[in-house]
Amino acid sequence: MTTAESYAEFAAREAHGVSPAYERLSLAVSRDDEVLGLLGTLPPAKRQPNLLFGVVRLLGGPVEDPAAFHDYTVANWPAIETEMRTRATQTNEAGRCAVLLPLLAALPQPLALLEVGASAGLCLYPDRYAYRYGDHLVGSGEPVLECAATGVAPPAGVPEVVWRAGLDLNPLDVTDPADVAWLDALIWPEHAHRRARLRAAAAVAAAEPPLLVRGDLVDDLPALAARAPAGATLVVFHTSVMYQVPAPRREAFAEVVRRLPGHWIANEAPGVMPCDGLPRPPGEALHNVLALDGTPLAWTRGHGQAIVWFG
């Protein structure tokens, strides 16, 4: 896919109906030869819409008006380029816990959670948040994570978590204002509810910081998994990570995780993990696939706002 096509696809399948500002912007970039030319000077993995838009927001640039965005990007390219080369999209969306919860709650308790690609670790607290699946409220904490659930009964309660650890190439620290500013810049412009959620989830994590280890999800997973306590079900999980990992490393990861005790939950785009025989996705919008131990079970939306269990 060319860079222009990937921006058009982002507009149509990710931002459409979710962020009008990013839909407009992404479509404009897909037709903007000057900005596409600048993006073409970056390695392919660094040309993504979320990274460009997040960096421009971090630097205080305009993202509502495509013409103003174009002028700002061209005028400030050296600063934008520097940030894009050094940063990665590390969006940490606690809302994704809402699609993990039906699986986590159904496993033998208590749980030892190990998240690979954990960012700041906000998805490591599924037991501390509350959830609203339609009229059904689960848990009693903050933030309250809203999720439209189809074809799956909401869990009766939150799981019992006795250990939580994260592995990331670049762990972020929710007590560091610079890291929180980057997490904030990665949230899409109109999503005030997600900004509020970030603050609330960051407060939960700051009160009991997770064990976050800097490392690679293949090379460093066995050593971290070995630190999980006996007597708890080890759950290795990842959400929206594998699109950043080259295919041979994804395969190596799957081999490593299959050799570990416990269970493996993946919540990833359909193209990045092997999953045969998927049913048709519910609509044109991009959906992730939720899988347990390699078996795909449900479609989920990117920020955890919906889950559709396979019929």
Ligand X SMILES: C[S@@+](CC[C@H](N)C(=O)[O-])C[C@H]1O[C@@H](n2cnc3c(N)ncnc32)[C@H](O)[C@@H]1O
- Cβ proximity of 70 and 36 under 8 Å: no
- Binding part of the chain for ligand X, among 137-145, 161-169, 204-212, 292-300 by CB under 6 A, reads 161-169
Strand-by-strand arrangement of the 136-138 sheet: 136-138, 130-133, 144-150, 306-309, 295-301, 287-292, 263-268, 233-239, 111-116, 161-168, 211-214
Q: Is 298 in the site for ligand X (CB under 6 A)?
A: no
Considering only 173, 184, 216, 251, the residue that binds ligand X (CB under 6 A) is 216
Identify which range of 10-18, 62-70, 87-95, 192-200 contacts ligand X by CB under 6 A.
Answer: 87-95
Cα separations (Å) of 266 from 56, 63, 103, 116, 117?
A: 31, 32, 11, 10, 11
Residue closer to ligand X by CB (options 38, 104) is 104
**The binder of ligand X chosen from 14, 168, 179, 268 (CB under 6 A):** 168
Region binding ligand X by CB under 6 A among candidate stretches 16-24, 62-70, 85-93, 227-235: 85-93
> Measured between alpha carbons, how far is 226 from 261 in angstroms, rounded to an integer?
10
Nearest distance from C-beta of residue 245 to ligand X, angstroms: 5
116 binds ligand X, rule: CB under 6 A: yes
- Exactly one of 66, 117, 262, 296 binds ligand X (CB under 6 A); which one? 117
Residue pair 267/238 in contact by the 8 Å Cβ criterion: yes
Q: Are 174 and 206 in contact (CB under 8 A)?
A: yes
Piece of 61-69, 88-96, 222-230, 291-299 that binds ligand X (CB under 6 A):
88-96
> Does the protein bind ligand X through residue 54 (CB under 6 A)?
no
Nearer to ligand X, 38 or 292 (CB): 292
Q: Which is nearer to ligand X, 65 or 216 (CB)?
A: 216
The candidate with the shortest Cα–Cα distance to 186, out of 302, 301, 35, 287, is 302
Q: Residue 38 or residue 272: which is nearer to ligand X going by CB?
A: 272
In the block, residue with structure tokens 């409220």? 137
By CB under 6 A, the residues from 123 to 152 that bind ligand X are 123
Q: Under the criterion CB under 6 A, does residue 169 sit at the interface with ligand X? A: yes
**Binder to ligand X among 16, 110, 244, 254 (CB under 6 A)?**
244
Q: How far apart are CA 114 and CA 283, in angstroms?
A: 32
Q: Kindly tell me the number of DSSP H helices and DSSP E strands found in the chain.
A: 11, 11
Is residue 14 involved in binding ligand X (CB under 6 A)?
no
Q: b/e map of 63-95 (b: 16 or more CB within 10 Å)?
A: beebeebbebbeebbeebbebbeebbbbbbbbb
Question: Exposed e or buried b for every residue in 275-305, given b needs 16+ CB within 10 A?
Answer: beeeeeeeeebbbbbbbbeeebbbbbbbbbb
Contact 158, 105 (CB under 8 A): yes
CB nearer ligand X, residue 31 or residue 199: 199
**Between 25 and 245, whose beta carbon lies closer to ligand X?**
245
Does 90 interact with ligand X (rule: CB under 6 A)?
Answer: yes
Q: Which of 53-61, 100-108, 133-141, 168-176 is the region at the interface with ligand X (rule: CB under 6 A)? A: 168-176
Stretch that binds ligand X, among 71-79, 92-100, 175-183, 190-198 (CB under 6 A): 92-100
The one-letter amino acid at 153: A
Number of residues that bind ligand X (CB under 6 A): 23
Enumerate binding residues for ligand X (CB under 6 A). Answer: 88-93, 96, 116-119, 123, 167-170, 216-217, 239-241, 244-245
